[in-house]
Structure 1
């Protein structure tokens, strides 16, 4: 979008399966920023939305979940198609459990005017602790509760850090791309279903098509607390299937830290040297023993 004088028509795309309180907090934060359209994609039926004064116009759609798990990749693709049909020029993807910080969307739209074509815009993500008994404070006060994730770049507000190498750091929790670049990158691979690896696959395929990353300072998303999904039995099954698919496509294993943790817990057998990944007998009981309380 380099050189465009006008602010791009911006759509936020959120995929959801329940978590209505999370979605409501996200919409409250969106009401204070520059957003033209909010596409909410339900993966377990049409999403239920509570009224939010001044929130952007919302387009609720739904996709069908199959037996392999929630269709995260297909839902993001469907959301992008719906946003583009409504005239969106900049697509901002926010997971349902993410609250955009003040001016996060404005910083994405400003950055979109400054970066070269074929760019994935990535904002920092900060993890919130469990909410107090009265819930989280207003979104403008969340910065005091959480720092950006230490494993990913977090430039100061107003700065853009270009990156042509570290595509394994890409997260789908919060990112943006132009309509033209979305078409160029081809969307998410819908062979992935359920939990894990579809976002790294997307970033690597985008890199093959000439993409670069741009870490956008100040475009912070605050991740609302919930128990780690990777300790759920169904998600571990999905993670193993998706990791194997990723390995076939790219020749190396994704999510190595998680797979190593699950190997140590005797939930899976993960041997990187011999390209072995499989569930172990009785893994459900081991998950219950080692998972979060």
Structure 2
């Protein structure tokens, strides 16, 4: 089984290098390491001369400089498949693979299954940075997802709990899913959409024990105010495609802070134009029948 690891990047080269270092010492090494750069020409230099060798694919930013996360993942998959990959492993750039992550994905992989390992959110690193050997001891896996024992696989998972930080699927299953919907740009929604699309095509969700990934610390906003407009726009797209609004917890927090408002009569979320956001005027987001936000 030829295994390809795919990650997308726009900055965070220190995180990317530690991911590369983790891949180099795993019990199963990738046959291909595909790094998709989003307006990030310097990423190739950050990876040069290190193992495993990376193949870079450049994808331009979308409208208004929004990151094309869905399109970038699809581009990475196309490159990996063109290189003969049988198993695609997607890792967020901030995620360092545990030493058995690739081995567990490879031995568990089956057509018709979407595989997800555990993810641990690490505390801030010490001044000298993280050490690979100590990552498992720094924090427990995220409690919001199943945490099976190392040798176990939990089948029949809830597709709405899928996250794109760490997952794997066979080449055939990837083709069956149709890939990520590239109408999503910027932050939010595209991973849940992908999982529901997979479910609709008969792909089961499996939680794989013994396949940990460690998410490196970086500052975040809670809720992610800097992504407000992306979330509202992508949420409307999701609503049009699936009939419900995603990311409801964040939407409620935006509303509590006066940054967004919901109109029950029109099933519309709108930004309020409050200070601290990137846009300057209120914008309403409602899905049309084709699923496009307008």
TM-score by length of 2: 0.88
* Residue 54 of structure 2 corresponds to residue 62 of structure 1: no
Q: Which moved more, 1:65-74 or 1:271-280?
A: 271-280
1:280 maps to which of 256, 272, 277: 272
Q: Which runs of 4+ in 1 moved over 4 A?
A: 51-54, 229-234, 271-274
Indicate the residue corresponding to 2:14 in structure 1: 21
- How far residue 270 of structure 1 moved from its aligned partner, in angstroms, is 3.6
1:190 maps to which of 154, 157, 182: 182
Indicate the residue corresponding to 2:107 in structure 1: 110
| Structure 1 gaps, min length 5 | 1-7, 288-293
Q: Which moved more, 1:64-73 or 1:92-101?
A: 64-73
Question: 2:262·2:269 contact (CA, 8 Å) conserved in 1?
Answer: yes
Map 1:85-104 to 2 at 5 A: 85-104=82-101
Deviations 1:105-132 (A, max 9, x none): 11111111xx4x2110001111001111
Distance change (3 Å), C-alpha of 1:51 and 1:185: closer
Map 1:258-269 to 2 at 5 A: 258-269=250-261
2:78 maps to which of 81, 88, 91: 81
Report SS of the residue matched to 1:163.
coil
How many residue pairs end up in the alignment? 275
Distance change (3 Å), C-alpha of 1:180 and 1:100: same
Deviations 1:9-62 (A, max 9, x none): 100000000100000000000001221110000001332343577722311111
Q: Distance in 2 between matches of 1:277 and 1:283?
A: 18
Q: Distance in 2 between matches of 1:271 and 1:225?
A: 36
Q: Distance in 1 between matches of 2:123 and 2:92?
A: 17
* Residue 116 of structure 2 corresponds to residue 122 of structure 1: yes
Q: Distance in 2 between matches of 1:64 and 1:52?
A: 21
Map 1:143-154 to 2 at 5 A: 143-154=136-147
Indicate the residue corresponding to 2:245 in structure 1: 253
Distance change (3 Å), C-alpha of 1:245 and 1:155: same
- How far residue 283 of structure 1 moved from its aligned partner, in angstroms, is 4.5
Distance change (3 Å), C-alpha of 1:48 and 1:29: same
Instruction: Let me know the Cα RMSD of the aligned residues.
Output: 2.1
Indicate the residue corresponding to 2:129 in structure 1: 135
| Structure 2 gaps, min length 5 | 280-294
Distance change (3 Å), C-alpha of 1:213 and 1:89: same
Q: Which moved more, 1:200-209 or 1:126-135?
A: 126-135
Q: Distance in 1 between matches of 2:268 and 2:138?
A: 40
- How far residue 78 of structure 1 moved from its aligned partner, in angstroms, is 0.1
* Residue 38 of structure 2 corresponds to residue 38 of structure 1: no
Distance change (3 Å), C-alpha of 1:208 and 1:170: same
Distance change (3 Å), C-alpha of 1:255 and 1:209: same
